[in-house]
Amino acid sequence: MQFRSYAAIGDSFTEGVGDELPDGVARGWADLVALGLALAARDGDGAASAGGATPFGYANLAIRGRLLGPIIDEQLDAAIALRPDLLSLNGGGNDIMRPKVSVESVADRLAAAAEKAMAAGIHVLLLSGGNPTKHIPLGARIEVRGEQLAAAVRARVPASGTITFVDNWADAELTDLRYWSVDKLHLNSLGHRRVAGNVLTGLGAPVPDWGDEQLELKRPGTIEYWRGFVLPWIGRRLTGRSSGDGREPKRPTLLPVQLA
């Protein structure tokens, strides 16, 4: 499969939180996938690329903190309207962390969103997030829901059609703490690179050498961790706020991917 354009929708996982560049902008796995696909398209063009081949277009409409409902209601139609060759869809991670959730309903909405994009002639990349539950408070409870959601989504992936499913939740290596940022909930740059590799492999595209250096993260102690991450998260839940309030998509239109 060779793509010329790619649009991503989702929450903090797809926005790239945890893989911040020096200027503070989140990069993340979707940006890396766009780069990998752009390189594959260029190499596939061969000599034609020297003659001014069409640049690879990439949009990212994901916003941190979003539940699945707003992802579908606010991002899906906007992404389809861009008419990309490929659309990635991930969501539900924030839903399963709420006190009450219907896992089957979340899976149904994901499947329906994928079907809608496929009906528009777009190849859908449906993917699960990594499993952070080994290291976070209430992790065992959240892991049960995560397993249920991953299984429900797997069961709904059509056996044929223009869809690729990449199951990062089932990637046992990705549960290692070295892939997670200091908040233990979002992937760090190493984790985002691993997900990008999983996705590109699933799409049949070459995986560039991102580098696999060990990150030196200064992790807070237990008290500092709760003060800095857990209690603020609880406070947002109790007051109905989100980390994504007031934020706009970082890349709302298809823009050329810079290869240099």
Report pLDDT for 172: 96
Tokens of 20: 């911040």
- The order of strands in the sheet holding 5-9 is 163-167, 123-128, 86-89, 5-9, 57-60, 251-256
Q: What is the pLDDT of residues 71-117, one digit of tens each?
A: 999 999 999 999 999 999 999 999 988 888 999 999 999 999 999 99
pTM for this one?
0.89
Indicate if the alpha-carbon torsion angle 97, 183, 22, 19 is positive or negative: negative
Q: Is the pLDDT of residue 10 over 60?
A: yes
Give the pairing of strands 86-89 and 163-167. unpaired
Pick 46 or 197 by higher pLDDT.
Answer: 197
Tokens of 222: 């237990």
Q: What is the pLDDT of residues 171-202, one digit of tens each?
A: 999 999 999 988 888 999 999 999 999 999 99
Delimit the domains of the chain by residue range.
5-256
Report pLDDT for 48: 45
Please say whether the structural domain 5-256 has been given the CATH code 3.30.565.10.
Answer: no
Looking at the chain, the whole-number percentage of residues with pLDDT higher than 90 is 67
User: Please, are residues 30 and 19 in contact by the beta-carbon 8 Å criterion?
Assistant: no
Report pLDDT for 239: 67
Report pLDDT for 44: 79
What is each CA distance from 154 to 65, 96, 127, 233, in whole angstroms?
24, 17, 10, 29
Q: Round to whole Å and give the CA distance between 258 and 244.
A: 27
Give bridge partners of residue 87 from the DSSP assignment: 7, 124
Q: Is the pLDDT of residue 47 over 70?
A: no
Indicate if the alpha-carbon torsion angle 8, 120, 81, 6 is positive or negative: positive
Tokens of 258: 């810079």
- Tokens 């560049």 found at: 21
Distance, first Cα to last Cα, the chain = 23
